[in-house]
Structure 1
Amino acid sequence: MLKNNKLLIFILTVGVFGILNTEMGVIGILPTIAENFGVSVTQAGLLVSLFALGIAVSGPILPLVFSGMNRRNVMLLVLGIFVIGNVVSIFTTSFTVLLIARIIPALFHPIYMSLAFTVAGSSVSQEEAPKAVAKVFIGVSAGMVAGVPIVSFIDTAFSYEMAMTFIAVVNIIVFVATLIFVPSMPVKEKQSYGSQFSVLRRPVLWVSMFAVLLLNASVFGVYSYVSEYLYTVTQMTPQWTSTTLLLFGGANMLGNIIAGKVLTDYPAKSILLFPLLLGVVYIVLFTIGEYQVPVMLLTIVWGILAGGIMANVNQYLISSVALEAPDFANGLFVTSCNVGTTVGSALGGVLISTMGVKYIILVGILSVVLGLVLIVIRSTLKSSAAQTSASI
């Protein structure tokens, strides 16, 4: 275990905020980017979709490639690439260059995310690892939820360049803090690529990955269109919609704190209970979607479950069945989440175009139900594997 792990975990938390803010922050300023670079909003959207594609492609590969190297050096490399990409994004006048400045960091995104979870978990005892990882997930939640309005506000109040400068400054601060305060972390027992790839032979890992894909689809299939849902179905004003989304973001943070404790104390029960509760929330939301105050209150519960607890549950589902290959497992987690986000958003779009905005909730319900089925299968497979090991 590393000394001064509180400072280490804080740096990792801010680090993942910077990484996620780079990914998600531009969502709120796509119209500005389209205007500045003389492209359509759809073309500007490539900055988001190609970033996500880069993550999905590199997620299972690059964390594995860098798994045997000094973890501090790898984190500095990734942060340096993000800083360079951010700086180029501030000054370039070419949309093509801007795309390249986004795609290259996207390929390295899963490396830092994987290392952040691995390093946080290894900085404490194995029993306390879920709590440490949950603290890092606060940065994930902040990057995904708070980053968009912050960058959008700076763009509106000042300029596109200042908004991109904010993103760059966060990454620069984390780079300097990592350089000064994070100790060298050589990998003492370097594993071969073959030994790490061998975890893919386990059916329980594949079931876990598909469960994570479905659970993430259940969250982002609804969240991707929640503003439209609140406008159309709940008939909230733009101001109340913004307030509701802010409450959702704050609830995300609270959910991470809760997740760390319950996954430490009751892991087996948590991975079944919280997806079940999320399904109940969606059913209630589908029933009372027209009522503003109940929906706002229910959004807080949804935020605790969906943004905070479920993210931690997803990471635990994969990492706990591949303990001997943590970097590779966390890379698979990042990829499974991104594929789930893409699938969920696509299904939500199909339902909106065919049935109407109200029915995006069905994406959440259906995905949660299928995810719960896979979690039950996962528990059975894990129990069988444990019994087989015990009898040998």
Structure 2
Amino acid sequence: MKRENNQHAGNAGGLLVFILTAGVFGIINTEMGVVGILPQIAETFQISVPDAGWTVGLFALIVALSAPVMPMLFSRVNRRTVMLLTLGTFTLSNLVSAFTDSFTVVLIARAIPAFLHPVYVSMAFTVAAASAGKAGAPKAVARVFIGVSAGMVLGVPVTSFIASMASFSMAMLFFAAVNAVVLVATLLFVPSLPVRERLSYGTQLGVLKKAVTWQAILAVTMINAAMFGFFSYMSDYLRTVTEISYTLIGMVLLVYGLANIVGNVLAGRLLSMNAVRCVTLIPFVLFAVYASLFLLGGWLVPVVVIIFVLGILAGIASNNMQYIITDAAPEAPDFANGLFLASANLGTTVGTAVCGLFITFFNTRYSVLGALLFLVAGIVFIFLRNRSSKPLSSSQILKNIHEQPSFRTH
């Protein structure tokens, strides 16, 4: 009987993680999908492509600014309520974007759900970890990261295809449909998830008093700057340094994205086995691979292999970065995950700017040097973080996450 109960709980937890992953996919898809249809947006609303770019920039800016605050404000709210509110808002906003003829309305319709983006993603990490138990939590969190990767990998080409074959409105309806399906699944299959222990805002903000928290934040910012600083110019690198066609570039980028998903799967296993070793070693491996790319950038076959390896490492590193933030602040996982999203977005912004400067003053090949410099800084902060306190084991950190802000199902 006990075995049957455990199996039922495991199945329920697996379904919950799947729904959370699908929800994250829908949200990231809404955020990133428009990247591939900026020309269609410009044509639809009779504006310039740079103006159309505000559909991406405004969304990302709001996410970066609200990520530390919004998850904390919603940390006392029933998790199911948060899921339904976020998915409903995303569905409605995409429907508005699909049927309006005003670009201003489109921007407003994208700005409103952007505030809830970090709430859902942060909550998804916390709930996935708690629902799987302390032993299975790293793999559960890794599955949620698959939703992030899939949203970026599949969202852009699928949206671009729909917009090119039909229209901008149909692309927005695709976003709405994805979020609506997850909304219905949440209504039907996710039970009430009330927060058992409601942490005060002061308690959550208190984690900022710890040096290890800031060291983790800076490590995440630097390593994410390295990965996404170069990734922002990967297409240009492949075009100008490796000198391949745009068609082949698209295929290489798809390889990178699929490899990223593989990295997410591997990360769950690696963090379960030895989290500290995984967090410490991956930046060094990244450094070696980026250095190889700098030296071999003009050779097609080595570059494709290197990009594939980079995709796997980036998937692992993303999970690592989320881990070290929650390891630094296990008493406030929602706020910690918000800090992770904020620092990751800040890293993307800073990394893109600095790697862009290397391109401006030298050439595209030297964007890799920007990534290498950020990795050196990230390694330093990880070393300081490891010295500040004895890191918790993966089972200890996940036990804390499970016990402190946990919830019960009804």
Q: Does 1:320 align with 2:327?
A: yes
Please point out which of 359, 373, 376 is paired with 2:366: 359
AA matched with 1:25: G
SS in 1 for 2:389: helix
Q: State the AA in 2 paired with 1:353.
A: T
Cα separation, partners in 2 of 1:114 and 1:38, compared to 1, 3 Å:
same
From 145, 149, 163, give the equivalent of 1:141. 149
Over residues 264-319 of structure 1, what are the superposed CA-to-partner deviations in whole Å (9 max), with x where a residue is unaligned? 1110100111111111110000000000011011111000001x111101100101
SS at match of 2:242: coil
Does residue 243 (structure 1) correspond to residue 251 (structure 2)? The answer is yes
Aligned counterpart, 1:337: 344
CA distance in 2, matches of 1:144, 1:372: 26
1 CA distance for matches of 2:56 and 2:181? 24
Q: Deviations over 1:223-244 (max 9, x none)?
A: 1010110010000111211111
CA offsets 1:16-69 (integer angstroms, 9 cap, x no match) = 010101110000000110111111111111111111110111111111111011
How far apart are the structure 1 equivalents of 2:64 and 2:28? 14
- 1:383 deviates by 2.5
Partner of 1:293: 301
- 2:53 pairs with 1:45: yes
Q: Is the 8 A contact 2:36 2:156 kept in 1?
A: yes
Percent identity, aligned pairs only?
Answer: 52
CA distance in 2, matches of 1:74, 1:250: 30
Equivalent position of 2:263 in the other structure? 255
1:15 alignment partner in structure 2: 23
Per-residue deviation, residues 173-227 of structure 1 (Å, max 9, x unmatched) = 1111111101100001111111111111111001101110111111111110101
Q: Mind listing any 5+ residue stretches in structure 1 that lack a counterpart? A: 387-392
Greater shift, 148-157 or 112-121, is seen at: 148-157
User: Is 1:92 paired with 2:120?
Assistant: no
How far apart in 1 are the matches of 2:391 and 2:135?
Answer: 23
Match of 2:170 in 1: 162
Aligned counterparts of 1:385 and 1:184: Cα–Cα separation in 2: 30
Counterpart mapping for 1:117-128 below 5 A? 117-128=125-136
Quick one: distance in 1 between partners of 2:210 and 2:392? 10
- Seen in structure 2, the aligned counterparts of structure 1 residues 151 and 201 have a Cα distance that, compared at 3 Å, is same
Deviation at 1:384, TM superposition (A): 9.2
Alignment correspondent of 2:220: 212
Matched-pair contact (CA < 8 Å) for 2:228–2:348: yes
- The equivalent position to 1:36 in structure 2, one of 39, 44, 51, is 44
Q: Distance in 1 between matches of 2:156 and 2:200?
A: 40
How far apart, in 2, do the equivalents of 1:383 and 1:274 lie?
19
Q: Specify the alignment match of 1:389 in structure 2.
A: none
Task: Check conservation: 2:118, 2:341, Cα contact below 8 A.
Answer: yes
Is this contact kept in 1: 2:225–2:350, CA < 8 A?
Answer: yes
**Structure 1 CA distance, aligned partners of 2:156 and 2:364?**
23
C-alpha offsets along residues 155-189 of structure 1, whole Å, 9 cap, x if unaligned?
Answer: 11221111111111110011111111011000011
Q: Which residues of structure 2 form unaligned runs of 5+?
A: 1-5, 394-410
Map of 2:407 onto structure 1: none
Q: Which position in structure 2 is the counterpart of 1:390?
A: none
The Cα of 1:145 is off from its aligned counterpart by 2.0
**Separation in 1 of the partners of 2:237 and 2:160?**
21
Describe the shift of the 1:188–1:358 C-alpha distance in structure 2 as closer, same or farther (beyond 3 A). same
SS of residue in 2 equivalent to 1:320: helix
RMSD of aligned alpha carbons: 1.4
- For residues 111 and 353 of structure 2, the distance between their equivalents in structure 1, rounded to whole angstroms, comes to 21
Provide the rounded CA distance (Å) in 1 between the counterparts of 2:235 and 2:152: 15
The TM-score, its normalising length taken from structure 1, stands at: 0.96
Cα distance, 1:355–1:232 mapped onto 2, change above 3 Å: same
| 8 A contact 2:327–2:392 mirrored in 1 | no
Deviation at 1:385, TM superposition (A): 10
Deviates more, 1:125-134 or 1:370-379: 125-134
Q: Distance in 1 between matches of 2:354 and 2:96?
A: 35
Query: Structure 1 runs of 4+ off > 3 angstroms?
Result: none
Query: Given residue 140 of structure 2, which amino acid in structure 1 is its aligned partner?
Result: A
CA distance in 1, matches of 2:392, 2:306: 39
In the aligned structure 2, how far is the partner of 1:88 from the partner of 1:140? 24
On the 8 A contact 2:146/2:264 being kept in 1, the answer is: yes
| Count of aligned pairs between the two proteins | 385
CA distance in 2, matches of 1:163, 1:196: 39
Alignment partner of 1:382 out of 379, 389, 392: 389
- 1:179 is aligned, of 176, 180, 187, to 187
Secondary structure of the residue aligned to 1:124 is helix
Q: In the aligned structure 2, how far is the partner of 1:319 from the partner of 1:8?
A: 21
Q: Secondary structure at the match of 1:234?
A: coil
In the TM superposition, what is the alpha-carbon distance from 1:259 to its structure 2 partner?
A: 0.2
Separation of aligned partners in 1, 2:93 and 2:345: 21
Cα gap change, 1:385 to 1:31, in 2 (>3 Å): closer
Distance 1:178 1:333 in 2: 25
- What whole-Å deviation, never above 9, does each CA across 1:118-158 have from its counterpart, x for those lacking one? 00000122232111100110000011222111101111122
Distance change >3 Å, CA 323–CA 352, structure 1 → 2: same
State the partner residue of 1:104: 112
